[in-house]
Structure 1
Amino acid sequence: MTKGAYAKLHHDMQHFVTEASVDQLTAIKNSIAQCARKAQKAGIDAIEIHGDRLLGSLCSKLLNHRTDNYGGSLENRTRYALEVLQAIKEAAPSMMVEYKLPIITVNPDGSLRGKGGLLEDEAVEFAKMLDAAGIDMIQVAQANHTGNMGDTIPPMGAVPYNWTLGACEKVKAVVSCPVATVGRVVSVEAGEKILEDGTADIIGYGRSLLTDPDIANKVEKGECIRECLNCNKGCVDAIQSRRYLSCVLNAENGDEETIFIQPCTETKNVAIVGAGLAGLEAARVAYKRGHTVTVFEKSNRLGGQINIASVPPRKDEILRSVQYYEKFLPGKVDIQLNHEPTMDELNGFDHVILAIGAHNMDLPMPVENSNVVSSWDILNGQEVSGKCVVLGGGLVGAETAEYLANKGLEVSIVEMMDKIAAQESETVLPLMEADFEKHNVQKFVNTRVSEIKDNVIYAVNTKDETNVEIAADTIVNALGSKKNVFDDSKLTVPFTYVGDCSGERTADIASAIRTGYKAANEI
């Protein structure tokens, strides 16, 4: 069985649902009630009934094909969920009970998004039943069981902000209990607007609390909040792959007991060279520890490669990673743009952190009389024309190809491995693939380029050793990046490398953040 087929079986309930007997349903209900009783005894104040999973499957027209009292009509399909609620209330009468109400939404093309749960009209009716049964709170959310967690927890640019709010407003209009909304409510300001408008009573933050667990405390103190990118790389991808849950922007996430900012024992003057994410995170942590920090950046803005990573379709939200530092650092850290420090300047500090980044690597094969441009230059605004062939189907190459295709150019991708954008989130890949198909982007995988001459790419298919020739007007070099090198031989003070320049392989966002955090926390 292929990995893809296994994943679909594992996550799409329609492929492996079996009908539970009434005795099994009763046993599960009693177990849930006993869990609630024990939670109450342990001092827990509230419990959420996750109305997706088993309960959502029974509620669903799409998944529930029973012919007994738990199937057929809306009353029958929701019977078990109400029985579970009643059992919990009897077992734990002082417990506040919330019901997560999953709604099968409709995509722009008319297809249904989700299988477990209820279509919107039925969900509103079921909300009335829950309210009458004494539920304390309802959270309106997207239904699951689609085979792609991006349908339930959408990545940046996939759906509008606050995308389930319309359904929440309809539920709120017919119930007396508080109603919560969830789903790409990224900023506190957006949440406050929803509350002010009265379209929901409570804002449910999910991924955002992985990025910054102190949202509530920071709002109270008026402090800057680090906002979630909705990239799904540290969290949702980890869930799908059964890996350790994390956040690319939060170096402490999941390890708060052992990884935390420690106040310095001696205040030092720290210089940071480079204002990409690694340098900016190092600046933040060094400042929080009590050091005096100066950031040198040779360009005229913060962010480094994030500024080009934000250019491809759906990627502009990645700029939130830089905007956080633009809000937090001024007034706390001396930021010197358009300034490449001299060695004498750096030797005047107590410690230097080098975050000088990377550059688009040169093509390794012979090139003669051909129009070759780098993916970095294209994403920085260089205009190209004609038939474009992107060499390298990694994340940068795939995103550059999608960017060019959306500009109306004819695009092909050449990749030596067997997969395009292998590092991309599994929740983003379907969107990218759909865009490739829409714009007829050609993909040459398992293809090794031997030489480029007169704007013709000469390559070999590594599977069958056949020759491949591709003519192009523009050849885009997206074969990867290479770390920038700094001559540290004349540095007379302690120094540390972070981010792209710190190892043999260049860093992703998570590595940049973590190396910057660690270096600053150890000064």
Structure 2
Amino acid sequence: MNNTTTKISTMKILQPITIGGVIFKNRTMFPPLTTGYEDKDGNISSQSRAFYTRLAEGGTGYIVLGDVAPVRSFAPTPKLFDDSQIDSFRLLADNVHAYGAKLGVQIFYPEYDVNVLNALFAAGEMQKLRTQLNHDMQHFVNEVSEDALMDIIDKMCACAVRAQKAGIDVIQVHGDRLVGALCSTQMNTRTDKFGGSLKNRTRFALMLVHALKKVVPDMIIDYKLSVVTPERGKGGVDEIDAPEFAQWLEAAGVDMLHVGQANHTGNMADTIPPMGVQPYCFFADITGAVKQAVSIPVSTSGRIINPDMGEGILQNGKADMIGIGRALLADPDWANKAGADKATDIVRCICCNEGCVDNVLNRSFIACVVNPENGFEETRFITPAQMKKNVVVVGGGPAGMEAARVAAKKGHNVTLFETATELGGQLHIAAVPPRKNEIRRAIEDLVHAVHTQGVTLKLGQTANIQSILALEPDAVIVAVGASSFIPPIPGIDRKNVYDAWQVLAGKYKVSGRVAVIGGGVVGCETAEYLATQGCKVSIIEMRDQIGGDISVTVLPSMLENYKAYGVEQYTGYMVTSINNGEVNCKDKNGSIAQIPYDYVVIASGARPVVFDTEALSVKGIEVVQVGDCCEVADISYATKTAYDAANAL
């Protein structure tokens, strides 16, 4: 179970703070994230409004709307470049204020020539547009004229005025993107007054702050101070210069600073690190160094999972406000639960990046894998049962536990069967590979939830028709999952050929030279795991590349490990046979490869487990299947199908 030791009633994170003469009800902050919820024209959609309103309802004190563009751009972000857009922002501000939260808009300018690209788009010259965009992303910071920079400041100020008219409380300057690129020693090679020294490179940022203070003098000015560390980032000031620049920003009139990792590296894992890549609270020390240099409040973010982590940062004097991003996607009631001494009920983020970061990068909207309601706040919420039913859930993996949790919370009487003696299903083996241990939080939180909701558990018992009927169910939810697929390859029945799931579960031990057949998620993770255990690993994959289904923020770390451990990749190869000591393969051109092995591990996908429910249906019992036994997918599919099925009862 997730435990906390801090006495909630005395937590500093829940105490008010005054910033720029305005009282914020607590020190919890939702930092700027690209959500993909906004309308195509940049207006705040009803989906977006519902999401941010839910955060305010859950107790978050300060909410920042990320990447608000002051111009018509191609970025899938909110936009506030026209007076007609003010009303949609006003509706959001009114909703957020109704729960006592403060709302900020993070104004940014993209690092490309918006006017040129808009003209190319209007003319339908898409190839030229793509070429120009690629060029601009590398050179715009050095090619943009001084006159154009002054025009950009005017547009950002006009955006701030519109935000003020909409009732927004805070303007946050995005210190990455174009502003950060100008500050950067790595990206800015200008020789005019905007390049060279720290004073010159930060000139535009300070000019922007001065201009904002003139046009919206009564608004709070927040500045996202993007910091380039020796290991990561490009678009921002170098770590050594951050405290001095922070002092200049304070002198210019900035009311608060949000210190974060600079981006522009091409790898979102630098700024939104997945599980196991960065330590918890990884930017707190750098934030603390900035805080020591200024007298204005400073906030931080970065893998802050539970209230104790945030409280520790505050108590150690490293920040004044705590940014909680992905953790609020997992549980928007984070602050309220902490305040009600129910921190153990918080559904904790597992930092997988699969539903949030990956979705946005794939031009979709964020949707958390452990919180089916995230992104669907308008349509997904648990409704009380009109009639209490006896509900039986078959299977104790993530789908089964989520179904049981929701059904019980609705008011039904729920019994869950699980063949194993513990709950969690395949999540237990998913947590074994390198960097994946944080998946165990999902197991712990679901187990905690089914206990809290009073679900009757029958562990170590395989459900059958007789045992189900004995409970006189009104509805049965089948969540029996999937089993690994063993392809019909000649020689696959050899004694030193094992299934990847069983290897990860510790049932079989392998050593020496290991050939992993299959380069999907399971195969790649198994290969990395075995390599770290000292095996000499080769991966064989029919597709042209491995890891096609792996998060783009996770794959770079995995490939670095492959390089470090000498994992060999045979892509585009089909296994034709497993002989004594050799795996025979051929590619689409007929080239043959013979890969020596001591052990072979099969990771060729999975197939749904069949559970015969005909006898239940004949008796008029409602039966629904959820998760992998419907379609082999991922934890997001498992939890969402389970939630919907249980909520429909």
Q: Does the pair score TM above 0.5?
A: yes
Q: Deviations over 1:471-503 (max 9, x none)?
A: 211010111111111121222321111111013
Alignment of 1:265-304 (within 5 A): 265-304=386-425
Equivalent of 2:283 in 164, 180, 196? 164
Alpha-carbon separation, structure 2, partners of 1:60 and 1:249: 37
8 Å CA contact 1:498–1:512 kept in 2: the answer is yes
Equivalent of 1:346 in 455, 468, 477? 468
Equivalent of 1:144 in 263, 269, 273? 263
Corresponding residue of 2:385: 264
Alpha-carbon separation, structure 1, partners of 2:555 and 2:139: 22
Equivalent of 2:457 in 335, 355, 361? 335
Please, what is the CA RMSD of the aligned residues?
1.8
8 Å CA contact 2:183–2:202 kept in 1: the answer is yes
Corresponding residue of 2:628: 500
Alignment of 1:368-517 (within 5 A): 369-381=494-506, 382-462=508-588, 464-491=589-616, 492=619, 493-503=621-631, 506-517=632-643
Equivalent of 1:58 in 182, 206, 230? 182
SS of equivalent residue, structure 1 residue 145 = coil
Corresponding residue of 1:40: 164
Q: Which moved more, 1:303-312 or 1:202-211?
A: 202-211
Q: Which moved more, 1:345-354 or 1:16-25?
A: 16-25
Alpha-carbon separation, structure 2, partners of 1:242 and 1:400: 29
Alpha-carbon separation, structure 2, partners of 1:118 and 1:95: 25
8 Å CA contact 1:455–1:475 kept in 2: the answer is no
8 Å CA contact 1:272–1:293 kept in 2: the answer is yes
Q: Deviations over 1:243-298 (max 9, x none)?
A: 22222222222221122222211111211111111111111211222212222111
Corresponding residue of 1:364: 488
Corresponding residue of 2:335: 216
- The residue type paired with residue 140 of structure 1 is V
Q: Which moved more, 1:466-475 or 1:138-147?
A: 466-475
Alpha-carbon separation, structure 2, partners of 1:296 and 1:459: 43
Q: Which moved more, 1:403-412 or 1:213-222?
A: 213-222
Alpha-carbon separation, structure 2, partners of 1:468 and 1:69: 60
Q: Deviations over 1:51-89 (max 9, x none)?
A: 111111111111112222222221121111111112212
Equivalent of 1:175 in 294, 297, 301? 294
- Aligned identity (percent) is 48
Call closer, same or farther: CA 1:46–1:275 in 2, change over 3 Å: same
Q: Are residues 1:104 and 2:217 paired?
A: no
Give, in angstroms, the shift of residue 342 of structure 1. 3.6
8 Å CA contact 1:370–1:452 kept in 2: the answer is no
- Structure-2-length-normalised TM-score: 0.76
Which stretches in structure 2 are left out of the alignment for 5+ residues? 1-129
- The residue type paired with residue 444 of structure 1 is Y
Alpha-carbon separation, structure 1, partners of 2:510 and 2:451: 37
Equivalent of 1:315 in 424, 430, 436? 436
8 Å CA contact 1:412–1:441 kept in 2: the answer is yes
Call closer, same or farther: CA 1:90–1:151 in 2, change over 3 Å: same
Q: Which moved more, 1:402-411 or 1:282-291?
A: 282-291
Q: Deviations over 1:273-330 (max 9, x none)?
A: 1111111111121122221222211112111111000100011011111121122221
Which stretches in structure 1 are left out of the alignment for 5+ residues? 1-5, 108-112
Alpha-carbon separation, structure 1, partners of 2:301 and 2:394: 40
SS of equivalent residue, structure 2 residue 229 = strand
Give, in angstroms, the shift of residue 18 of structure 1. 4.3
8 Å CA contact 2:383–2:410 kept in 1: the answer is yes
Equivalent of 2:198 in 58, 74, 78? 74
Alpha-carbon separation, structure 1, partners of 2:576 and 2:404: 44
SS of equivalent residue, structure 1 residue 329 = helix
Give, in angstroms, the shift of residue 369 of structure 1. 4.0
Q: Between Structure 1 and Structure 2, how many residues are aligned?
A: 509
Give, in angstroms, the shift of residue 213 of structure 1. 2.1
8 Å CA contact 2:141–2:182 kept in 1: the answer is no
Give, in angstroms, the shift of residue 507 of structure 1. 2.0
Q: Are residues 1:187 and 2:306 paired?
A: yes
Corresponding residue of 2:31: none
- The residue type paired with residue 76 of structure 1 is N
- The residue type paired with residue 243 of structure 1 is S
8 Å CA contact 2:142–2:188 kept in 1: the answer is no
Alpha-carbon separation, structure 2, partners of 1:15 and 1:471: 49
- The residue type paired with residue 233 of structure 1 is E
Corresponding residue of 1:110: none
Corresponding residue of 1:253: 374
Alpha-carbon separation, structure 2, partners of 1:106 and 1:339: 54
Alpha-carbon separation, structure 2, partners of 1:328 and 1:99: 39
Corresponding residue of 1:3: none
- The residue type paired with residue 55 of structure 1 is V
8 Å CA contact 1:12–1:147 kept in 2: the answer is no
SS of equivalent residue, structure 2 residue 467 = helix
Alpha-carbon separation, structure 2, partners of 1:65 and 1:96: 32
Alpha-carbon separation, structure 2, partners of 1:231 and 1:11: 32
